[in-house]
Amino acid sequence: MAAAEMPPELRETLKSVCNLLSMDRMGNSSLWLLGGSCGLLLHNVPLARPPRDIDLYADLGETDSLHNALSHWSLDHPEENYSKDCFSVMSHYRFGTYPIELVCGFKICSGYSQYIVETSLLLKDAPLTYFEGIGYLRLMPLAHEFVFNILRGRSDRYESIAAVMRMDLASHLPLLQSLSQRNTLEESHLRLLEQHLSVSLSLV
């Protein structure tokens, strides 16, 4: 599935989310990034099926302002969540038929690897971009999605992500190197990163 084939209802839901979260009543913009299958689709990463939900990522400090903006559609309140070696403060919402997850302060552990998602760090590699029928939003960078899905063992995702990254590898490598240096990645995960991009991160 390509970005141009995004279901109209999903496109409209994303538009509503962008409008709601563009700024609060005081005119302050919250820092959040669209990730998951929706983000990958807008990055033109091929997907086997359309996205079934919407994943929003933010740092812990953004939790309250984002939840307040979405509170009319909330199904619960932000709570600490521990599952499958992951930690986050998570809350859930629903726009029409699409569930929305707000994931703040996300951390994933896999074997000896530990990756902390620092949304503020990812900002410089997530330019505000206009998407037709949706509006302006920021996508989780592909370097993040690549690391994240390797730690999840999602070969169906990370192989497709790597293929798109290889089309413009130089633009993705600085962030990938930064993520590998700021986090703990065991040898097997580091080798997967390098093999799929045919690079040595220690030499980038």
CA distance 24 to 30: 8
CA distance 54 to 35: 8
pLDDT for residue 203:
43
Residue 29 has pLDDT above 70, yes or no: no
Residue of higher predicted confidence among 83 and 171: 171
Element (H, E) at 155: helix 155-165
pLDDT for residue 88:
97
- Do residues 83 and 77 make contact, with C-beta atoms less than 8 angstroms apart? no
What's the token pair of residue 12? 């409209």
CA distance 44 to 66: 27
Global confidence as pTM: 0.92
Residue of higher predicted confidence among 13 and 1: 13
Residue of higher predicted confidence among 148 and 31: 148
CA distance 33 to 30: 10
Residue of higher predicted confidence among 83 and 201: 83
Give one DSSP letter per residue of 117-149, joined into a string. --HHHHGGGS--EEETTTEEE-BPPHHHHHHHH
Architecture of domain 3-203: 2-Layer Sandwich (3.30)
CA distance 188 to 5: 36
- Do residues 176 and 201 make contact, with C-beta atoms less than 8 angstroms apart? yes
Query: 183 — phi, psi (to 5°)?
Result: -120, 170
Mean residue pLDDT of the chain comes to 91
Mean pLDDT check: name the lowest of 82-86, 136-140, 158-162, 172-176.
82-86
Residue 5 has pLDDT above 80, yes or no: no
At 22, is the pLDDT very low, low, confident or very high (cuts 50, 70, 90)?
A: confident
